[in-house]
Amino acid sequence: MSRTEAPPLPEPLRVPVADSHTHLDMQDATVEEALARAAAVNVTTVVQVGCDVAGSRWAAETAAAHPAVHASVALHPNEAPRIVHGDPDGTARRGAREPGGKAALDEALAEIDALAALDHVRGVGETGLDFFRTGPEGIAAQEESFRAHIEIAKRHGKALVIHDRDAHADVLRVLADAGAPERTVFHCYSGDAEMARICARAGYFMSFAGNVTFKNAQPLRDALAVAPVELVLVETDAPFLTPAPYRGRPNAPYLIPVTLRAMAEVKGLEEDVLAAAIYDNTARAFDF
């Protein structure tokens, strides 16, 4: 089987569910195709997440055009250092960039603030800290951006969507120090069971992605096992983190049932019960 070939549609869920975090703009299908495939397996709602100003504008426009799409807008944690310090090499997806300094970051944050005021924008994120891809020189810019997003989310009464990679203690520190919004979501939850208990005490939602199905992901399954069902969400983070047995192939919202069924097994719940709970949780988290 080709690594680039899309996995088949899984058996549909009997109860509608929502994909709490996806990137339709990075997937091969059109928005209409992606939503139709998702609906065919009873994934009826998706949260489209922006990672920079352009992507956040696209998310807002897409949500305005499609009732099944809700938008979340932000500068990704790795975007903030690129804005401030520049990125002379760039990547395949992101071109080279000249340093813009604090003024450029402030300008970008002002655009995110304006987008966050829109009714069809339901979240501010993904924001947070990422110590995997950004070195020590970029941490200050990341934290400044993170704190600004927290204030934007609180100002507009929107959910805060957290990207936390290799930065658990610092993310929790900033949230405690700045004061987390009423609704905070740890996207692609990556902590252990003890962190899940900390998040639960704080009332943070924990969204699990396809990597919870990976063989080496027992710590994630342990975290899911102790996470209160009323704080659990499911996501694809598509086109990334495709669940087993399709790991390495393109991910899309229609694969949510694969991850949800694995989660139901970990939680010891009927899939219909978990799907219903997750839909209600996602609607509560993103106020739709």
* Residues contributing to the annotated binding site for a divalent metal cation: 21, 23, 126, 163, 187, 237
Query: Helices 139-156 and 101-116, interaxial angle, to 10°?
Result: 30
CA 248, chain centre distance (Å): 19
Write the CB contacts of 177 (distance below 8 Å, at least 6 apart in sequence): none
Contacts 24+ apart (CB under 8 A), 263-271: 263/208, 263/212, 263/224, 263/232, 263/234, 266/212, 266/221, 266/224, 266/225, 267/224, 267/225, 267/229, 267/232, 269/229, 271/13, 271/14, 271/15
Binding-site members are 21, 23, 126, 163, 187, 237
> Rounded to an integer, what distance in angstroms lies between the CA atom of residue 7 and that of residue 234?
19
First vs last C-alpha separation in the chain? 39
The dihedrals phi and psi of 206, each to the nearest 5 degrees, come to -120, 120
